[in-house]
Structure formats: C-alpha cells, structure tokens
Chains A and B, each alone.
Chain A
C-alpha cells in the first residue's frame, strides 16, 4: 500500500501542470481505444475456442474430408451411422459407465461434502486434499497405476474396473461443487426445522436437500460428462471386452481413411450437439454456470 501512496503524492504534484484538460481528453480516447481492443481480443478468443468445433461440424456435411477442392454437401455421413452396430454398442457402454460412475461419485461426494462442511475432525485438510487429487493427477498416471493394481488384486481391466476408476475421477467435481454450496447454506434453517419437531432425516429431505439439489445436479452432470469423455483412463482399465465411445473413435482416428474421417466428423458433431442441448437445459434448470465459475462459493 505504501507504494500506492507515494505514487499518488507524485501525481498530485504533476496535476498542477497546465494542459490537464487535454491530457484527460487524451486519456479518455486511449481508454476507449483500449476497451474496444480488449473486447475485440475477447471475441477472437471465443473464435479460437469455437474454430475447431465449427470446422468439424462443417466437415461432417461434406462429400470428402477435404475443404479444397470442395466436392459438395451431403447427409450421407449421418446415414451410415444408423446401421453401425459397433458404434451403437460403444455409445451404450459409455452411457452405462458414465451413469453408474456418476451415481457413485455423487453419493460419495455429497456425503463427504457434509463431513467437510459440518464437522471438524483430525486429518480434515488431508481428507479434502485427497478428495481433489483424482482430478489433478494426470490421466496416464491414474490409468497406469489402477491398471497394474487391478491386474494384481482386483477384477483386472474390465467394465467394473472402468466404472470404479471413473467413480474416483468424478468424485472431486461433485465434492467441489457441493461443498461450495454447503458453505453458503444457512444452517439456521435446519435448526428451525429441528426446533419445530422435525427429525434429522425429515429435516434433510424437506429443508436441506431442496436447497442443495441444484448443486448436486451440477456435480452429477460434471462427473457424468467427465466419465463420458474420458479416453486415457479407460484405455488402461477397460480391457478388450469393454469399448467406450472414445475408444471406438480413437480407433477410427488412428486408422484414418476418408470414410473413417467422415464418419468421425458426423459422430463428433452429434456429440457436440448433445452436449450443447444438455448444457443449455442444465443452465436453465440449475445455476450450473455459477457453480462452474465459482461465483456461488465465494460470496459468504
């Protein structure tokens, strides 16, 4: 703060110069210029985020996977998808894995959030840190570690191993979102319910749950999407009998032929579309963006 104070002192001295008005005018002009530059740059960044998606959507409607020479527009790339049984099986696998693991992650994460926000206990900080770690550990490391582990003590790389791995991976997302909501939860509401004679279970069902339900939903959605889109962890623990959608797609990328690429473009476009609809619904039903952007947790 002392630095600021000295600068202020210097500047007040400077202000007594003539030409203050013109300098202020100049400053306003530069401010305007900077602001439009800033907004222009922000717009460019949005374009950067969207460019690859737009290219993929465009290339899913073309006759060949190349832009030049442009060979015309078609819906054929989508037509083939209906008969592709491998694709359907992998989508079913991904849905099942994502749903089961997100349910587990949500149950564990909500319970753990209550422990973290309502109780002081030994090793609480450690507990919280390890609750976040599965999100931070690079996917390759988690995948490799769990692969060797499951091969020795568990079910081996399999469907079950994939669900267990993803349930661990989804836990931090639920934990972060639900603890943020619980920290701002007004506990006197619960006390009021208890004082009026409600038992703890009724209080939870009628008072606490309705308030934190949107956060739980957002956490579930996050965990679900993380599982659905995961490739690297599943690569190590899924084994040969379980093929999630991402592995089906990876197979097509590594065996890149024009046909494979066009099919992939169509599938990718459908994925983008599905996510777009789910996100739009989630944003209108619950305050997902608030949880994601951390605006809920910080205003105590």
Chain B
C-alpha cells in the first residue's frame, strides 16, 4: 500500500467490475477455460481430424480416409486362439492386448500390495503417520525416469539382483532379464503411491469401532472385510485402480527402458510412429484415438458409480 491514492481509481474500477457476478465468474473461470480449450480440446480434436486424413509423400493431406484405422486392425498375421475361437492379430492389436494385460497386472498388484499398508496407515497415530507418509511420498515425488532407471539397474542378466543371487550361488535367473516381468514391477512401483494415497483417503474416513463391533457380534474376519471394509472403501479402490490402470496402459518410459525393445506396448508403438523411425502422424493419431476412446469408455463406466469427488485428493 505504498501509494494508495494513485491506485485508487484503478482499484475502484476493478472492484466495480468484479462486483458483478458475471464478470467475476468470467475472471475466475475464464483463463483456465481458455487454456483447456486451446491446449487440450483443440489438440485432441485436431488429432482426431489427422487420424482420418490421408498421408502422401510424408505430408498430411486433408482427404478423409479410414485407411489408418483399417491398417491398425486388418491384415494381422500372428495367430491367437481364445479357446475355440482363433484370430490373427496385427502388431497394433498385439500391442493393445499386451498393454491391457500388463496394466491389469500392475493394477491388481498395486491394489493387493497397497491395501494392507493403507490400512495400517489409517490406524497409526499422528507422529508415526507423518513419518510413514514422508517415506511414501519421497519415492512418489522422485523422478519417474529415475525410478524406471533404478529398476533397470536391479533387473537384467547382469543386474544387481542377479549378481547378488550369483554371489549366493544361485545362478543368473532368466526371469529377471529385461522383459514383461520387470515392466510390470516397474509400473507397480511407479503408480503404487497413487493407489496407496487414494485408498488411504477412503480408509481414513472409516469408523474402525464399527469393524470391532461386527467382530464382537461374531462376524468372521473375512466377513468383516467383505461386508464392511470393501464396500466402504469401494470409491477408493475404483479411484486408485483408475489412477494406476490408465497411465499404465499408455506407459512409454517403463516398457522402453525395462523392456529393451522386446515389450511393444501401445505407448512405445505410438512414440515410434510420432517421432521414431517410422514417422507417420496419421497412424500415430489413429492409434492414439483408440487409446483415448478406450480410456474415455472406462472413465464413463466408472463415473456412473462414483463421482470425481470421492476419488480422493491425488
């Protein structure tokens, strides 16, 4: 307030403008709306358009075609059979199946591993809780790339794990070589805190005396978990699963580093078409659209059962 007099007319005008509801709503909601329209909605719309455009002589030509989608889904060569039904998958379909399988494995692992820790955290006293949450958040805040890289050091033919096993006389274990297993472990480690924090948020509101009452009235431990703990924390379970599953499906860094070219997930495939060896914006866009549509469908399904507010504060 160095020069209140000089600022007064401007200040008065500002207050007059802001005192009208429409103006103040515009000032608060407007900037982010512009940002979202220009940097999220428009690019995604543009990507949709590109995915239907032709690609000739390394140029995007604005002639509508379904060619890129057909290329992604038609003309597969790898044989698969699901029981009696056999089909031939394209490289893209294989990538989609692999990504969904890996993401499902990571999500289930996160849920099973994080739930007991979240349960314990919800029952800790404040001091211990502060220490534990610090120990959890530090790996969470550490660079994603650093964490993928540290698993790169641990896994592999001559990684730290195999060397330690070798020193103990248990030969190099083949399962520890770079491939699908390290990718699943890496993704589980990467998104574990998302699951933990979301689960914790819903467990923290849980009335533990209710559980004790149920036990005292003779419900078995399994009953208590099935009838009380799981239903009451369902929003957290669903929310945490989304926060693990969706980024895992589109992961690039983890499969690229821990899969050393052997694990072709969708993210790796898209990167390859977008800036890698086989640059083709139209195919990259079409592949991205498939991911976007499946993610939106998953979110739509989930939001019929829980609202965004219930997903905790990640």
Contact = CB atoms under 8 A, between A and B. Distances in A.
B14 A201 contact: yes
Contact of B144 (A55, A112, A129, A229): A229
A41 interface: yes
**Residue of A4, A128, A141, A201 contacting most chain B CB atoms (<10 Å):** A141
Contacts of A107: 31
Contacts of A250: 145, 253
A253 B50 contact: no
B281 A148 contact: yes
Given A3-B227, A55-B150, A55-B160, A168 B40 contact: yes
Contact of A275 (B25, B33, B141, B221): B141
Contacts of A12: 217-218
A127 interface: yes
A49 B139 contact: yes
Contact of B164 (A11, A42, A68, A149): A68
B111 to A, nearest CB: 12
Interface stretch (A75-83, A84-92, A114-122, A185-193): A114-122
B239 to A, nearest CB: 10
A140 B33 CA distance: 23
A8 B295 contact: no
Given A45-B114, A164-B39, A229-B145, A68 B166 contact: yes
A128 B307 CA distance: 11
30 contacts: A34-B221, A42-B117, A49-B139, A50-B135, A51-B154, A53-B142, A67-B163, A108-B32, A109-B32, A111-B29, A119-B29, A121-B29, A130-B36, A132-B308, A136-B247, A138-B249, A138-B251, A140-B250, A144-B288, A145-B46, A145-B285, A168-B36, A175-B32, A225-B141, A229-B143, A231-B253, A271-B143, A278-B141, A292-B313, A296-B313
Interface of A: 3-4, 7-8, 10-12, 14-15, 34, 38-39, 41-42, 45-46, 48-53, 55-56, 59, 65-68, 107-109, 111-112, 114-116, 118-119, 121, 127-134, 136-149, 152-153, 164-165, 167-168, 171, 175-177, 180, 199-201, 225, 228-232, 235-236, 246, 249-250, 253, 261, 264-265, 268, 271-272, 275-276, 278-280, 283, 289, 291-298
Given A131-B36, A253-B152, A279-B141, A199 B28 contact: no
- Top 7 nearest A-B pairs (CB, nearest first) are A138-B250, A11-B218, A294-B313, A52-B150, A294-B201, A115-B29, A112-B32
Contact of B43 (A145, A171, A175, A199): A145
Contact of B28 (A41, A42, A111, A229): A111
A294 B141 CA distance: 16
Interface stretch (B64-72, B76-84, B85-93, B189-197): B189-197
Contacts of A268: 143, 146, 149-150
Contacts of A152: 46
A279 B143 CA distance: 13
A56 B81 CA distance: 43
Given A7-B217, A271-B142, 8 more contacts: A50-B135, A56-B149, A140-B250, A145-B44, A235-B275, A261-B153, A265-B153, A276-B138
Nearest to A232: B252
B39 A146 contact: yes
B189 A144 contact: no
Interface string B1-22: 0000000000100110011010
Contacts of B197: 292-294
B113 A167 contact: no
A176 B227 contact: no
A271 B243 CA distance: 25
A141 B291 contact: yes
A148 B54 CA distance: 15
A296 to B, nearest CB: 7
Nearest to B201: A294
Contacts of B192: 45, 48-49
A34 B120 CA distance: 12
Contact of B201 (A34, A59, A295): A295
Given A136-B246, A253-B152, A268-B150, A4 B227 contact: yes
Given A264-B149, A279-B141, A236 B35 contact: no
A228 B285 CA distance: 27
Contacts of A278: 141
B219 interface: yes
- The CB with the most chain A CB atoms within 10 A, among B30, B146, B281, is that of B146
A165 B271 CA distance: 17
Contacts of A66: 158, 163
